[in-house]
Amino acid sequence: MADNGPPIAAHLRLTLHDDPLKALLLPFDGGALPWPAQGPVAFLRARDGWPLRRHPLDRLRCEQGFKPLADGLRQAGLEVQPELEDEGGASLVLVLPPRQRDEAQALLARAVALAAPGARVVVAVANDEGAKSRERDLQQLAGLDGTLTKFHCRVFWTPPLSGTHDTALAARWSRADAPRPILDGRYTSRPGVFAWDRIDPASALLAAQLPTGLRGRGADLGAGWGYLADELLRRAPGVQALDLYEAEARALELARGNLAAHADRVALGFHWHDVTAGLAQDGYDFIVSNPPFHAHDRGDRPELGQRFIEVAAQALRPGGRLLLVANRHLPYEATLARGFASQRVLAEAGGFKAIEAVKEGGR
């Protein structure tokens, strides 16, 4: 069911306060580096924002695996993919690395691989997100030719690359970011996704409360790498179809593999999607969710979870059930009361609460 309300992605859009993006463009704005006159410009973990508008964007190729930010880039008329091809022909590579070390180091290795001979890699990181560590990483990998500090960030760049970077180090960093078995081989995961090497305690609490009698067609909103969906399908043999909605592309790809064993019995759908924008489908018999409550900048965003609840209420059939887990302190009860006929706490533990809400009406 389409939803016409404003998505919470508005809270994720970059504003004047995107300091790493401002820092990233600083060498070009100030004349320390020239913007290349020709050839594609690759932008890894790209985000839209006004600093980009000072430079030609017709050759910009953006990589962004987080759907709300990818949607923002696309709405700005920019070319964006969850992952760029490693063609090695970029005349400039811009990088806004993530916080997680293994993922960030692998991204630097990819940036160098994407650069054409003579191109530079330019990186910006907030001081409180490991700027000095990433600067040392780039220096070790390919050398440094300059550094600037401003906006509580560091921006640093390589000399023109000529194939002399540390290929063994790049390969080691790439392997450290690769998918690998976790939890005694039960699942496959990789650095950078939420709770990548463990079972999130909130999801575990909800999984323990999932009714074995769930039946029909359901959805998992914010499915991550697939733990909650797997537990659901193991516990509830009456489920016939399950749609997974996840904003992080690398997590969704992991979920495909982690649920492959259920594919013969259950119709599975995998949707790279910003749930806060609403769902295109409705009539679900049940929905499960461990919704996010932080934005990409890690600030608290309780309205994200509230929006997930609103979308779930719109997508469920009359009498449908929402099974939700949240931090105990988050103010979700009023939102649940607006969209559901009843709600009850199923369990509380470790600062979390598992809630069941039933939509008004019936078959």
What CATH number is given to the structural domain containing 142?
Answer: 3.40.50.150
pTM attached to this predicted model: 0.92
What's the pLDDT score for residue 91? 96
Task: Give the C-alpha separation, 202 to 290, whole Å.
Answer: 7
What's the pLDDT score for residue 303? 87
Where does a domain end: 176, 208, 240?
Answer: 176
Indicate whether 56 and 158 sit together in one domain.
Answer: yes
What would the mean pLDDT of 31-44 be, rounded to a whole number? 95
Inside any domain, residue 219: yes
DSSP H helical segments within the chain, as ranges? 19-29, 67-75, 101-114, 131-142, 167-176, 201-209, 227-235, 249-258, 302-315, 333-339
Indicate whether 114 and 247 sit together in one domain.
Answer: no
pLDDT of 16 strictly over 60 = no
Whole-number percent of the chain with pLDDT over 70:
93
Task: Give the C-alpha separation, 178 to 220, whole Å.
Answer: 25
What's the pLDDT score for residue 85? 84
Indicate whether 42 and 92 sit together in one domain.
Answer: yes
Average pLDDT, the chain: 92
What would the mean pLDDT of 110-122 be, rounded to a whole number? 96
Inside any domain, residue 363: no
Q: How many CB atoms lie within 10 A of CB 362?
A: 9
pLDDT of 8 strictly over 90 = no
What's the pLDDT score for residue 294? 60
Inside any domain, residue 3: no
| Residue 1 pLDDT class (50, 70, 90 cuts) | very low
Of 274, 261, 300, nearest in space to 66 by CA: 274
Indicate whether 284 and 219 sit together in one domain.
Answer: yes
What's the pLDDT score for residue 163? 83
| Residue 5 pLDDT class (50, 70, 90 cuts) | very low
pLDDT in tens, 232-265: 999 999 999 999 999 999 999 999 999 999 999 9
User: Are the CB atoms for 69 and 276 separated by under 8 Å?
Assistant: no
pLDDT in tens, 192-215: 999 999 999 999 999 999 999 999
pLDDT in tens, 136-153: 999 999 999 999 999 999
| Residue 355 pLDDT class (50, 70, 90 cuts) | very high
More confident residue, 295 or 220: 220
pLDDT of 337 strictly over 80 = yes
Q: Residue 25: left if φ>0, alpha if ψ -120 to 50, beta else—which one?
A: alpha
Q: How many CB atoms lie within 10 A of CB 318?
A: 12
Indicate whether 247 and 265 sit together in one domain.
Answer: yes
Question: If you search the block for the tokens 């760049």, which residue do you land on?
Answer: 157
Whole-number percent of the chain with pLDDT over 90:
87
Indicate whether 114 and 49 sit together in one domain.
Answer: yes
Indicate whether 192 and 335 sit together in one domain.
Answer: yes
pLDDT in tens, 272-329: 999 999 999 999 999 999 998 765 555 567 789 999 999 999 999 999 999 999 998 8
Where does a domain end: 176, 195, 216?
Answer: 176
Of 306, 149, 150, 129, nearest in space to 221 by CA: 306
What's the pLDDT score for residue 2? 37
Indicate whether 146 and 211 sit together in one domain.
Answer: no
Indicate whether 171 and 266 sit together in one domain.
Answer: no
Q: Residue 351: left if φ>0, alpha if ψ -120 to 50, beta else—which one?
A: left
Indicate whether 31 and 68 sit together in one domain.
Answer: yes
Q: Residue 283: left if φ>0, alpha if ψ -120 to 50, beta else—which one?
A: left
Inside any domain, residue 79: yes
Inside any domain, residue 1: no
Indicate whether 79 and 193 sit together in one domain.
Answer: no
- The DSSP output letter for 294 is B
What would the mean pLDDT of 159-164 be, rounded to a whole number? 90
Instruction: State the residue range of the domain holding 216.
Output: 180-358
Indicate whether 122 and 239 sit together in one domain.
Answer: no
Inside any domain, residue 20: yes
Q: Would you call 51 helix, strand, or coil by DSSP?
A: helix
Q: Would you call 351 helix, strand, or coil by DSSP?
A: coil
What would the mean pLDDT of 112-133 be, rounded to a whole number? 96
What's the pLDDT score for residue 298? 54
Where does a domain end: 157, 176, 195?
Answer: 176
Q: Would you call 142 helix, strand, or coil by DSSP?
A: helix
User: Are the CB atoms for 246 and 272 separated by under 8 Å?
Assistant: yes
Domain count for the chain, please give it.
Answer: 2
DSSP string for residues in 226-269? SHHHHHHHHH-TTEEEEEEEESBHHHHHHHHHHTGGGTTTSEEE
Residues whose CB is less than 8 angstroms from the CB of residue 132 and which lie 6 or more positions away in sequence, other chains included: 154
Question: If you search the block for the tokens 């009539």, which residue do you land on?
Answer: 283
DSSP string for residues in 16-36? TT-HHHHHHHHHHHTTSSPPP
